[in-house]
Structure 1
Amino acid sequence: MAAMPVAIVILFLMLAPMPASAQNERVDYVVAELEKSGFPRAVAEGLFADERVKMYPPREVAPRTIDWDKIIASLVAPQSVQRGEKFHSQYQEILDKAQKDFGVDKTAIVGLLRLESDFGRNTGDYVVFNVFYTSMMRAEEEKRWKWFAENLIALAQYCKKGGYDCLDVRGSYGGALGPAQFLPKSAELFGADGDGNGVIDLTHPLDAIYSAANFLVEHGWHEDQMAALGKYYGSANGYPRAVMAYAEALRKSLGMTPPPPAPESNNSDSNSRVIGRTN
């Protein structure tokens, strides 16, 4: 997902909540930051007063080792690659545009979306506001709870700009949104408007495609593709290799040749890439 350290993902499942005084301090911090960004204070406070706000119950999650070789074997199986062919056919126009505008191999974008959410099939059903609210309340270190708070703030801003109900936005247990599994803070910084309607909707494949491409470019795709993919996931262990294996299998299935090296970025390209960001 773009982009969260893997160890943080399950934090909200494991820790006990802070005392009430600390909880109030943290809510006050979010409310104050939202007010600074233009939210009426009553609206910001109303988010936390909503009856749908709740903390997810803690539960232990056993550490696991990811078998990337097994995952890659499943990814490049014929049935899996066929789903990529279908997605490529359905969204070829925007994939071609993203490849042209950002210089990111479109088959790598398809591979990323296959691995992140199976093209939007598995985006999660957790209330994202409650994910970050729970994590913020349970985190012990100031740096960590403020990281969750910043995602709460970014989520509220994303919902305000898009006209979404903040307590109805669903995502993964780590708080990631849509087919590209973007965290709210990453959406604020790297979200891009793929369909040109002036609104970034991370649940829409066109915006997800464009946002993923923008994130990769902003994290060094033109210098080191594997490193950029590692930053997208939050860990370089296996993920970049899996995305590239799927991209190669898809190219072979479609009879495509590998794309030429991406052009060097320049000032005009950089300016075009930030158009449509949520900030």
Structure 2
Amino acid sequence: MLRALAVIASLAATPALAATCGNDAGGWESWKQQFAQEASAAGIGQRGLQALSGARYATRTIAADRNQRGVRYALNDFIRIRLGSLDSFASQATRRLDQNRAFFQSLEQRYGVPAGILLAIHGMETGFGNNMGNENVVSSILTVAYDCRRSDFFTPHALAALQMVDRGMLAVGQNGAAHGELGHTQFLPGNALRYGQDGNGDGRVDFYNMADAMASTANFLRQKGWQPGQPFSEGTPNFRVLNEWNAATVYQQAIALSAERIR
């Protein structure tokens, strides 16, 4: 969910301390030392600083970032490639809904977001939790914060990831997607801190727990303007909220069309 920008003011970089970005691994270790000062000034504790010290330059993350082509498929092609078909995808989602309807009903009562939307996002992001990524979250998010291409965007998320380590919300060795997206619905760390919810009532927020991830996703959409009980087809205010999740129109269309079939 790279489109979703949630910069946490308390973790914003202090300009006087801003670490010098780089375009290859050559300045990585020096940058980490500089960034440690920035992180410490932002309130990052010992566990987070240790995670920063041990982070590696994520070459696969850089390769993925520099080879992005964007979503240029027509809707039908996108659905075929990403979902197989709307009906088969919706059937998979409905089976998961049938396993836990009371839970999804409780989320809709609290946040106003229907189960179909949440399950469509879950399925499209990680195949219902079957593929949450194989890149180390801390290393990946720090690498794109170091890289000069988009360091301003990713620096607050890198600080947030270290804060999550401090709070016990993120294990140092936890894997996620190429740009540090984590959990069942691929939250960036800054958004995870801001919108995270305890969905299973165990007193902590864990984005690798399905209940927590679903509650957090519902909270994100509600906070972005989702209107409970209103339609979400293309052209409606709720459809526009989906742009906060992903900027690709075909992605938004696929979510809405799938959600209509998930019952």
TM-score (norm 2): 0.78
Residue number among 245, 249, 257 corresponding to 1:232 in the alignment? 245
Q: Is the 8 A contact 1:136 1:148 kept in 2?
A: yes
- Distance in 2 (CA, whole Å) between partners of 1:163 and 1:4 is 20
Query: 2:174 matched to 1:169?
Result: yes
- Distance in 2 (CA, whole Å) between partners of 1:38 and 1:129 is 14
Q: CA deviation at 1:228?
A: 1.0
- Distance in 1 (CA, whole Å) between partners of 2:44 and 2:133 is 30
Q: Which residue of 2 aligns with 1:54?
A: 57
1:26–1:146: structure 2 CA closer, same or farther, 3 Å change rule? farther
1:178–1:62: structure 2 CA closer, same or farther, 3 Å change rule? closer
1:44–1:210: structure 2 CA closer, same or farther, 3 Å change rule? closer
Q: Which residue of 1 aligns with 2:18?
A: none
Q: CA deviation at 1:198?
A: 1.6
- Distance in 2 (CA, whole Å) between partners of 1:117 and 1:190 is 19
1:16–1:32: structure 2 CA closer, same or farther, 3 Å change rule? closer
Report the secondary structure of 1:174's partner residue.
coil
- Distance in 1 (CA, whole Å) between partners of 2:189 and 2:170 is 13
Q: CA deviation at 1:214?
A: 0.5
Q: How large is the RMSD of aligned CA atoms in angstroms?
A: 2.6
Unaligned runs of 5+ in 1: 6-14, 252-279
Residue number among 194, 200, 204 corresponding to 1:199 in the alignment? 204
- Distance in 1 (CA, whole Å) between partners of 2:192 and 2:169 is 15
Q: Which amino acid aligns with 1:224?
A: P
Q: Is the 8 A contact 2:200 2:211 kept in 1?
A: yes
Report the secondary structure of 1:199's partner residue.
coil
Q: Is the 8 A contact 1:35 1:44 kept in 2?
A: no
Q: Which amino acid aligns with 2:52?
A: F
- Distance in 2 (CA, whole Å) between partners of 1:163 and 1:212 is 16
Pairing 1:1-279 to 2, within 5 Å after superposition: 1=1, 3-4=3-4, 16-17=23-24, 20=27, 24=30, 27-37=33-43, 39-40=45-46, 43-50=47-54, 53-56=56-59, 58-59=62-63, 61=67, 63=69, 65-73=72-80, 74=83, 76-140=85-149, 144-162=150-168, 164-166=170-172, 168-222=173-227, 224-233=237-246, 235-251=247-263
Report the secondary structure of 2:205's partner residue.
coil
**Stretch of structure 1 that moved more, 85-94 or 121-130:** 85-94
String of CA shifts for 1:61-98, please: whole Å, max 9, x gaps. 26252333223354544432221122112232221111
Q: Is the 8 A contact 1:111 1:247 kept in 2?
A: yes
Report the secondary structure of 2:262's partner residue.
helix
Report the secondary structure of 1:238's partner residue.
helix
Q: Is the 8 A contact 1:98 1:213 kept in 2?
A: yes
- Distance in 1 (CA, whole Å) between partners of 2:100 and 2:165 is 25
Q: Is the 8 A contact 1:192 1:211 kept in 2?
A: yes
Residues paired across the two proteins, number: 233
Q: CA deviation at 1:236?
A: 4.5
**Stretch of structure 1 that moved more, 59-68 or 76-85:** 59-68
Unaligned runs of 5+ in 2: 6-21, 228-235
Report the secondary structure of 1:116's partner residue.
helix
